[in-house]
Structure 1
Amino acid sequence: MTTFDFLVCKDQLASTELRRTPELPLSEGEVRLRIDKFALTSNNITYAAFGEAMNYWSFFPVNGSGDAVWGRIPVWGFATVIESRHPELAAGEKFYGYYPMSSSVVLAPTRLSKAGFADGAAHRAALHPVYNQYLRSSTDPIYTAGSEDTQALLRPLFMTSWLIDDFLADNDFFGAQGAPAQPGVMLLSSASSKTAYGTAFQLAQRSGMEVVGLTSPANVAFCESLGCYHRVLNYEQLGQIEASAPCVYIDFAGNADLRRAVHTRFSNLKYSSSIGGTHVDQLGGAKDLPGPRATLFFAPAQVKKRNTDWGAEQLGQRLQQAWQAFIARVTDPFEPWLRVRQHQGPLAVAAAYEQVLAGRGDPREGHILSLHAGD
């Protein structure tokens, strides 16, 4: 038996390879899961763009011990146990979690509970535990069979969105929250991206802030239709925002020139948060910028803090409540924010990756992929 791996050149993300890999026998305590479906969004492109800096390539190393040239991008999705040498896991169980862009994966479950397990593979021991958790669909309070695609696409992104909003609130919006008559500006780049509009959805529920989205001219109408931005501007219209307004910049694009323009224009920039890198061809450093230092947001750090502040149960309850409100809006039958496109088989996966990497396509679409053809 063999498995398909979709490989990406680490320093040339447009260079890809589909590789067949022989399936090795399981060791005691391991399980093999068939990766049924996974989402591909600009968030996964961010994983690749920051693969070395933030160890994303380390989760699923090529050739077991890693490869200097090729990597497997982590994705979120659903997989089913097809072979088990673990006494507490049976074939047929389904899990939501963090997987490679492959047709199957071998994991070493540890710390099993009713909720799921953690991958205990040695190479993941030093990586952040948030990414090592696998949730049983049979006990997951969020799971429904009919919403798998939406969960794979939006669940990890909305968790990041919620944590960004929570982090800013936890820090009193760095002094940028104003009064209703003179609100501060929450400025979001790549406003059509799912993590950006999830963040805007949360921020729009707070007072004393104008949520402003920056996007390409082609996506202005889409962003305006969402209703979670108070104002939507294209990138050339940055000058329409009052330069003295207290402002927080939430950067999902990673565009170095845009970041410099924001830092240069706003004399009262209170905080600059770097989230992602949707503009892969325009990524750059953040050195020697006017104003506050551009700071990378790392969602697991806020998870850890809130686990300490509130406990895991209360954090889970708050996230679930926010998720239900968000997903109800996204899947509104009359005005949905999201339409799902299915891509099955290795060639279809390669084509979808090329489209997402290039930033092409309808922002209302979400891509669900499977390396298994004809499922």
Structure 2
Amino acid sequence: MTTTLLVRQDDLRSTRLRAGDDPPLAAGQVRVGLDRLALTANNITYAAFGAAMDYWRFFPAGEDGWGIVPTWGFGTVVQSLHPGVAVGERLYGYWPLAGSAVLQPDRLAPQGWRDAAPHRAALHAVYNQYLRCTADPFYTPASEELQALLRPLYTTSWLIDDFLADNGWFGAQRVLLSSASSKTAYGTAHLLAQRTGIEVVGLTSPAHVAFCTSLGCYGRVLPYTALAELPAGEPCVYVDFAGNAALRRAVHEHFGDALRYSCSVGDTHVTELGGAGGLAGPRPVLFFAPAQAKKRQADWGGAVLQERLLASWQAFLATLSTATPPWLMPQTVRGAAAAQGAFERLRDGAIEPRTGLLVDLR
């Protein structure tokens, strides 16, 4: 029996649980029991962009209008009809918000393999890879919670930082990050703070100003209502993790042509999404992390890219392990109904920023 969390594709406020018998495996398939799945603002972004960026297609719900939100985390192979994948293997990868998943391993290597399910063939390869924990240099048993919560987000942070540096900061010396309390935003701020000559400004709700300030990675933290305190004529870059249409318009109107670049990364303000047309200054673009990863793989080669990302990841974990107060406190929610409630609280912005939610729907 597997329980899956379903979300209305056109109304993220509507969720339900679906329980059903495990489907029988075909030759070459494996069943993975999922026990450590991350719930972060990233999941809300996947749902908000589900149709536009094909996120609903990874794990089809099989019911019109309903979708299964993908997430990152860990599972263990509980049944295998593939000779190259053993029962008991621990895997890291991209999963449905469910108690288990059926995959079709292909292109097996000591480090991992890809899911060759036909419906995923045209989707971006980065989401189809599953890593064997025994051969994953990023993995340690003690850091599973942080890896589930932060690894894909920090990878995006690292690629944003690299992209901005690769483009000479678009001639600016100030970078504004909205939703500054979100994990991808403060991962980005942590990296930007190490750059010479770049001021990092975090924009957040009044309730989260103290949290963001406590991290120590922002040069300045402002509530959204204090945007006018920033000098309008000085060049800056806007990295939008909130997706709040009114805030985006306010930023563009305040800075105008002094805003040298504007990109959207996430949608934590899911109730305040909107278009980006008719704005002053540059046209906002969507930052797609795999595109920068592909560029750097071509520039440096895959091995060098992974070495640089691994070194940065390990340094970030070291920062987290010594931070006082802690930046992130993992909390595991067990049971399908509790996981549904956790997703709804996350969607509604009711999770404290220092809390890192992990769910087990089994």
Same fold, judged at TM 0.5 (above): yes
- Matches of 1:309 and 1:37 in 2, distance apart? 34
Q: 2:263 aligns with which of 251, 254, 273?
A: 273
Task: State the match for 2:286 in structure 1.
Answer: 296
Task: State the match for 1:179 in structure 2.
Answer: none
1:120-135 matches, cutoff 5 A = 120-135=116-131
Q: Which runs of 5+ in 2 are unaligned?
A: none
1:23 aligned partner, one-letter code: D
Alignment partner of 1:223 is 2:222:
no
Cα distance, 1:175 vs structure 2: 1.2
1:147 aligned partner, one-letter code: S
2:349 aligned partner, one-letter code: G
- Matches of 2:335 and 2:21 in 1, distance apart? 18
Q: Secondary structure at the match of 2:304?
A: helix
- Matches of 1:21 and 1:71 in 2, distance apart? 16
Alignment partner of 1:316 is 2:306:
yes
Q: Secondary structure at the match of 1:112?
A: strand
Give deviations 1:330-370, integer Å, cap 9, x for gaps.
Answer: 22264321101110001110111111001113111100100
Alignment partner of 1:94 is 2:83:
no
Cα distance, 1:157 vs structure 2: 0.4
| TM-score of the superposed pair, with normalisation by structure 1 | 0.95
Moved over 3 A (4+): none
Tell me the percent identity.
58
Task: State the match for 2:47 in structure 1.
Answer: 48
Give deviations 1:313-343, integer Å, cap 9, x for gaps.
Answer: 1000000011011111122264321101110
Which deviates more from structure 2 when the two are superposed, residues 292-301 or residues 18-27?
18-27
Q: Secondary structure at the match of 1:111?
A: strand
- Matches of 1:171 and 1:237 in 2, distance apart? 28
Q: Secondary structure at the match of 1:88?
A: coil
Q: 2:66 aligns with which of 65, 70, 83?
A: 70
Task: State the match for 2:156 in structure 1.
Answer: 160
Relative contact order higher in (CA < 8 Å, ≥ 6 apart): 2
Q: 1:195 aligns with which of 181, 184, 204?
A: 184
- Matches of 1:117 and 1:361 in 2, distance apart? 34
**Paired residue total:** 361
Root-mean-square deviation (CA, aligned residues, Å) is: 0.9
Q: Secondary structure at the match of 1:138?
A: helix
Task: State the match for 1:181 in structure 2.
Answer: none
1:17 aligned partner, one-letter code: R
Contact 1:329 1:336 in 2 (8 A): no
Task: State the match for 1:169 in structure 2.
Answer: 165
Q: Secondary structure at the match of 1:8?
A: strand
2:5 aligned partner, one-letter code: F
2:344 aligned partner, one-letter code: E
- Matches of 1:38 and 1:255 in 2, distance apart? 27
Alignment partner of 1:337 is 2:333:
no
- Matches of 2:143 and 2:242 in 1, distance apart? 28
Give deviations 1:245-276, integer Å, cap 9, x for gaps.
Answer: 11000000000010011001113110001101
- Matches of 2:64 and 2:318 in 1, distance apart? 43
- Matches of 1:113 and 1:330 in 2, distance apart? 32
- Matches of 2:326 and 2:266 in 1, distance apart? 25
| TM-score of the superposed pair, with normalisation by structure 2 | 0.98
- Matches of 1:338 and 1:158 in 2, distance apart? 13
